[in-house]
Each structure stands twice: as structure tokens, then as C-alpha cells.
Amino acid sequence: MANYDEDAITMAVEAGMECILCSGVNREAIDGVYFASTSPTFKERSCAEIVATALDLRPDIYIADFTNTTKAGTTALLSAYNAVKAGSAQNILVCASECRSRIAKCGSSYEALFGDAAASVLIGRGDVVAEIKAFHSISYDFPDFWRTYRDDYERAWEDRFIREEAYLKFIPEAISAVLKKAELRPEDISRVCYPALFPREYMTIATNLGFKADQLQPSMLDTIGDTGSAWPIIMLIAALEEARPGDRILMASYGNGSDTILFEVTDGVERIRGKAKSVKSQIESKRYLDNYGKYLVFCEAIHVERGRRAEDTSLTPLTEQWRRRRAILAFVGTKCKKCGLPQFPPQKVCANPDCNAWDAMEPYRFSEKKGTLFSFTEDYLAFCYVPPAIYGIVDFDGGGRWIMDITDVEPGMCKVGMRVRPTFRRKVVDHERGIIIYSWKVTPRLAD
Amino acid sequence: MGSIKDKVAIIGMGCTRFGERWDASGQDLIIEAVKEALEDANVEIKDIDAAWLGVCFPRISLGLTGMPLSTALKLPFLPVTHVENLCATGTEAIRAAAYAIAAGTCEIALVVGVEKLKDLGYSGVPEVVSDDWCSKFYFSTIGPPGAFAQMATRYFAKYEIPPVKGKEILAKISVKSHEAGALNPKAHLRRRITIEEALKAPIIAWPLGLYDCCGVSDGAAAAILVPAEKAKEYREDPIYIKALQVAVSSGEELLYNWDGVHVESTVRAAQRAYREAGIKNPRKQLDLLELHDCFSITELVTYEDIGVSPRGRAGEDVMSGLFDLKGEIPCQSDGGLKCFGHPIGASGIRMMYEIYKQLQGKAGERQKQGRCELGLTHNLGGYPFRAIAAICILGAHRG
């Protein structure tokens, strides 16, 4: 599950950032962000745009929020493909991101099954990692899972009905159609990826279609869980991490039907191998939350005493947030053109006392810079949703420093000199006023 | 560069009991402190020409402008200025009044510092909602204990002091202050503590525990200032201002290469104050210290920042008893922020109150023996990496 300060948007930024850095594509060249989630943070306010701003992309791009079904991730991917194919865009970043643990009602079977994750792919032309060779989409208004505008938690009809009438029918229908379009047989496919809504039927689908057990991409149901719209794409990425040029990978989603896409891996896969944090390394870096009460707090499933200290957020100047969005959301500071000192927050007067130049700054992106912990404390007095508040001063590689909240740590874990990396998280959550402020913290997790 | 040395004298001071003054409003505290100051100076309220009111958080029960002061005392349409400089407010208010006296625009000035923190409704100091220099958008979820605690983390790391040993040094500082606080009827906290109690206390912000942090209190303190050459007309034993210096952070510490184990603002203010007062060797020349012990680590580092202890070795001076009540340079002989309490606007003036009484030989059981002519107050606002330091040096004699 996600940490308390994560959500679908923060994880999309994390995955999106990895994707951009791994691709080697310049951020200026990205023409769109498609965000897919059945658990978006906002019902109104584009999550895709928050992601785009955090990733410091241009404002003149296409953004879209895909939602309402666990098929939304692959739909976003296909839409990105269509836009690039039509020549409307050179590159579109697709982020499928879910925080499904928060829509599972306490005591429901989904509480055990739902997981939180995000996957990001960059769709574009030129030096690709895999080509999209064929695809097929089918849609049905099937009554399996739903939520109305009033519902906080997932609703579902009977398991057996879903399994027999939808799960066992839609994916095979779509996969068969793709194989037919591509004029291929099951043995021509290296890996087939689709969500394992039901573990046994997950195998049955493959067998019925003529695939062998070793062609089936591990579903990771028991390590990550049901991650909704992100699920098929995570499986695709896991498959790509092991793939060889020439491999054919079939990816099918499930949700109000199915999108199935056939990929053919190119030489490009070698170029990006090892450049992003692998699915495996992320699973291995997990920590356990062995306290159910804390789990409920993380999921915002129970009312928690915040204390009077937390009530004082009466003046959240959103004008400031707009004015400084590049600094707050994208973690972009300034670098002095005269003395070269990187500085955050953005300054108009250089902080180097031997320089102090006025208006000599250029933008400087701290979001990509790792750092070393200069000082820290574990504060039991300052407000924190999950106390103690752990924070410290970070010296960034390449220069510059700032005081940052340290997340993904518990008391006793921090040391002066520890390596950390910036991470995009929820900073302030005020449900009274519907204000959620995002900003950057640092984490030691996968920081080296 | 000009100097305030020997231009202004204090002829009267007052200080309320600090603590959880549920019984008193902000204006009640003002009246209590001013009453004592007027009696001490043997002047009447109608003699006052101008007044300065130091309050850090006027929104807690006091109100903006100088009006809380002028309406409480019924001052007859005098110039009354509200002064704020976070925890350095008290000294800053004195500085404003002193400069007016030295400029010859004012004959008798009244300065009052007051704070009603206990009307806040939760423990600790108020959450800052929206600030340009410590904006909630950019800063971590910071509070004063956490900000200063980081200096302790750095200090232990830089000077290779195991945290267990480091916490002992910090504990000794608080134990020392409690010894004095126990003897002071006006102090908020009057119980002696032991090193063991301090080490076992709950952690507030690691590595600082409960007894490493000053309390949150209500209180007020007042001072009456006149030109130095007129001081002897009022009393036999006026106390003279030898130096008053304020240094405000440029903001470079958090952006540049601060070492994490000193407060640059204190260093700069102290250097200028010694130059102003003509002090060449503070360790030898100063008789008393009132330092801003909001946290034990602040006091430890300040010994070094004001040039009394060598860098990295203040702990040795602490453990040797140099700063004890019976030591050579008593520090916090009234209990300090730690025990006397910290009603923010009043603290700087309360520090002067103790030095004032000590230099006049009126500190009773806590009186320093031996030479007692020169005292230094250090008042610090903000965070170690973004601070306002205000230093005042008081002397028993003119010249």
C-alpha cells in the first residue's frame, strides 16, 4: 500500500519521472500527459495537469484524465498511440496510477486484494523500445464493479457472475481478435499479460487460448495486489525488463470490456535496460505495516485527532501556490549565473555572500538531484499525520541545500550523511476546506 | 560608526511573576510590570514621554499597534510604538527606546514587553500560517524544538560526541538553570531536576527531551530609560547600556554553506557589541550572562558564538561548572528562559532585569559574589539557520 503522504497523483509523478529520465527524452519535447486512475484525488481539477506541472513540462500540451474503469490505463495508452500516429503529438506520457487501498471498505475482500501502484510509459516516434503492432478494444456495460458519485467504497456484484460472464469472456475475446488481426498464433507470443482477478481462472484463460504456463507473465497479485488500471501496464513493464529484441508481448486490460495490445520488442530495449527502478527492486524495498490501526489511518478510513495545532491552516494562500507553482510543484529553484550556486526556493538575489548578484538567475531543477542528509530531527510536537515529523537539511549533489520533510522513515532510521532523493508527496491535507497541497520531500528509499 | 555606549541608562525596572497566569490578561500583566518599574525608578506615569511595546504575537489576547499599552496605562496620547522581532522583541524594543533617548528626542522612555501565550489553546508556540521567509509551502513541517534539535544532531556529529554523552552535557545545562530557578520566586518552574531525570525525559524533538526545552509562559517586564548624564538625578545606582546590537539573518545559512553548529546572527551581533562596548576578552571581562536558552543546545552553542568558549568545547566549560550559579560566569542566574519562562515579548527585558538587579547587588540568594560590573544579555529569534540575534551589554558604571 502507499504511504500516508502518497496518492494516485504522487505515484504518477514518481513513475512519470522515472519514465522520462529512463527514456532520455527532453522534457521540452513531451507533448502530452494522459493520467488514468479509478482512484483519482480530485473529481474536478485535472490530475494530469498536476502531474504535468510536477514534471515541469510545457503548458502547451495535451492533458487528459482517463477514469471510471480499470481499463482506463490501456485506453490512455491507446489514445496516446492514436494521437502520435495521427501526427498530433510527438510524445505523450501515459501514467496509470491507483491508490485502490483507499476505496476498499474495511472488512471487504478488496481490503486484502487491492493495492497501490503506478506505471508510466512514454509513447512516441523514433527510437522506440517496443512497437505497437495490433490492438483491439471491446466495451461492455457489465455490472461487475461500480461506484456512484455518492459512493466512497467499491461496490461489486457476485464473484461467480463476474468470473463466468465477464472475466472469462472479455479478455479471451480481445486477445483472440488481436491474434487474428496480427495473423499470429499463441506460440508466436513470448509473454501474455493480463490482470489476475481470479487466480485459477487467470491460468484457465491462458490454457483455453492455447498459451503455455511459462508464457504467462507473473501477475504479482500476491506481492502488489489488484492495482486496477495500472495492473496490466506494470505486468507489461515487468515483461519488458526481461525481454529480448524480437519478443512479442500481448497485454490485455480488464474493465467494462478489454483493450488488448500487441507489442514487438526492438533493439531499443537494451538502451533502457537498468535505467529505471525495476519492478523487482521496488517490491524488494518494501517495508511492512504490521499495525491495522495505522493502516486505517493511512487509508483515511477513520477520523483521527489532529489536535488544535492542525486547525490553524486558515490561510492557505492559493494565490501563492499559483505564483510559485514551478517551485512548489516542480521543485525548480534558481541557479546564479554569476557564481553558479543552485538555490531553493527560487531567489532574485543570490544567497552567496561573496556574490549577492541581483537578477542573475536561471531556473534549476532540484527534482532530479540526489542529496545527503546534513542534519535531521524526529519532532513529536510539530503537526504530522503520522508522528513524529521527521525532517532535516539536505545538501544536494551539485550544490544547493534545503530543509525537507523526510518520508518513508521511522524513528531511528536517519543518520547524518544518509543518501536521499526528492519525492513528490502530499504536504498538507485539509478536508475541511478541500485543500490538498503537494510538494516535495526526500526519501532514502531506492536513493542509491 | 556610532555607538550607544554610555548614552542611555536604566533607572527603573519591573517584572511580573512568569508562568501560567490564568489570573491575568495581557493588560493586567502590563500594569503589574510597569507599577514595579515606576516605583523602582521613583517616577510617575505622567513623566513618561514616549513608550515602546514589545509583543511577538499580538493576535493572542493583546491586539495590534501600541494601543494595548496606551489604553491599559491611559497614556495621554503619547507616541507608542509596537515592536516585534520574534523572540528578540524585548531587546529590540529597548533598542528603539534607547536610540530615541540618545537622539535627544525623548527624556524618559518606558519599554514594556509582554506575551499571553497561555491564551493560545494548545501547548507550544502558535503555528505560523503564512510567511514569506518560512513559508509552509516550502519548509518542512518545522517547529522550534525541531529546528534547534537539528543543531544538536549536527553538533554531536561534527564534534564526534556520542549522543549519550552529548545529552548529558545538555542535561547539565538545564540542571544548572533549575538550581537558580528554584531560588527565584518569580520563575515559572521552581523545581530542581537531576541529570537522570533530564536524560529519561520524553523526547520532544530528537535529541531534545522535555527538560531541554524552555516552557511556554505568560508575563511582562518593563524598563524606564533616561539619558546617561541625567541618570544620577534619579538614583544612586543606575545601570548603563554599553552596547545594543541586532543582527538579522541574510538567509544564506539555509542556502549556502552554514556548518550547522553555530548561529551566525549571534556571532555578528556579539562582535559588533564587543566593539561598541570596548570589550576585548569576553571570557575574562564579562561577569554575568543571560543567554537565550530556548533549548539547552542553544545555550551550549551560544557560549561559543559569543566568544566565551572555544569552538566545539563549550561542553567542557559546562561540565566544569564555569556557568553555574556559584561559578565564575553565572549564566541564567534567574533560571533563564528554561525556568523563569519565555513570554516571548518580555524575555529580552526580563534578562536585563536580572542583570540590572545583580549589578545593583539586589539578587538576594542568587547574588553573584566577587566582581559584578558587566553583564551580557543575548536574545534570539527565529531558527538557528534564520535568526535575529539581539545583544545588550549592561554596566554598573559610566565610562
pLDDT of residue A315: 55
pLDDT of residue A247: 98
With 90 as the cut, is the pLDDT of residue A67 above it? yes
- Asked if B126's CB is within 8 angstroms of A382's CB, the reply is no
pLDDT of residue B117: 94
**Single-letter code of the amino acid located at B377:** T
For B260, the closest of A374, A379, A417 (CB atoms) is A374
**Residue A314: pLDDT band by 50, 70, 90 thresholds?**
low
- ipTM of the complex model: 0.90
Q: What is the mean pLDDT of chain A?
A: 95
In a mutational test of the A interface, the residue from B216, B255, B257, B261 whose CB has the highest number of chain A CBs within 10 Å is B255
Contacts with B207 from chain A: Cβ below 8 Å: 377
Cα nearest neighbour of B259 on chain A: A374
- Asked if B137's CB is within 8 angstroms of A437's CB, the reply is yes
Alpha helices in A213-289 (DSSP H): 231-242, 268-272, 279-284
For B256, the closest of A345, A351, A384 (CB atoms) is A351
pLDDT of residue A101: 94
Q: Which domains does chain B show, CATH number per domain?
A: 8-119+217-225 (3.40.47.10)
The active-site residue out of B82, B178, B292, B342 is: B342
pLDDT of residue A246: 98
Alpha-carbon gap, residue A13 to B294, rounded angstroms: 40
**Residue A303: pLDDT band by 50, 70, 90 thresholds?**
confident
Q: Find residue A376's DSSP bridge partners.
A: A392
pLDDT of residue A404: 96
Q: Find residue A134's DSSP bridge partners.
A: A262
B78's grid cell: 503619547
Cα nearest neighbour of B213 on chain A: A381
Alpha helices in B278-340 (DSSP H): 282-285, 296-305, 314-319, 336-340
Could you tell me the residue ranges of all domains in chain A?
Answer: 8-294, 335-443
Tell me whether residue B378 is one of the annotated catalytic residues. no
**Residue A321: pLDDT band by 50, 70, 90 thresholds?**
confident
DSSP A14-49: HHHHHHHHHHT--GGG--EEEEEESS-S-SSS-HHH
Within 10 A of A19 (CB to CB), how many other CB atoms are there?
Answer: 23
Mean pLDDT of A67-82: 98
pLDDT of residue A179: 98
Alpha helices in B64-187 (DSSP H): 67-73, 89-102, 144-158, 163-181
Can you tell me which residue has the cell 522612555?
A: B109
Say yes or no: domain A8-294 is CATH 3.40.47.10: yes
Task: Answer for the pair B292, B263: CB distance below 8 angstroms, yes or no.
Answer: no
* Distance in Å, alpha carbon of A358 to nearest chain B alpha carbon: 14
pLDDT of residue A304: 85
Give me the percent of chain A exceeding a pLDDT of 90. 90
Q: What is the CA radius of gyration of chain A?
A: 23
A283-294 CB burial, b ≥16 within 10 A, e <16 = eeeeeeeeeeee
Q: What's phi and psi for B68, nearest 5 deg?
A: -55, -35
A61's grid cell: 500540451
- Asked if A374's CB is within 8 angstroms of B154's CB, the reply is yes
Within 10 A of A207 (CB to CB), how many other CB atoms are there?
Answer: 11
Q: Touching check for B149 and chain A: CB below 8 Å?
A: yes
pLDDT of residue B215: 87
Distance of CA A404 to the CA centre of its chain: 22
Contacts with A411 from chain B: Cβ below 8 Å: 206
Helix H or strand E encompassing A329: helix A325-330
pLDDT of residue A316: 65
Alpha-carbon gap, residue A152 to B235, rounded angstroms: 76
Tell me whether residue B213 is one of the annotated catalytic residues. no
Mean pLDDT per segment of 10 residues, for chain B of length 399 residues? 95 97 96 98 97 96 96 97 97 98 97 95 77 83 93 97 97 97 97 97 97 95 98 98 98 95 98 98 98 98 98 98 97 97 97 98 97 97 96 96
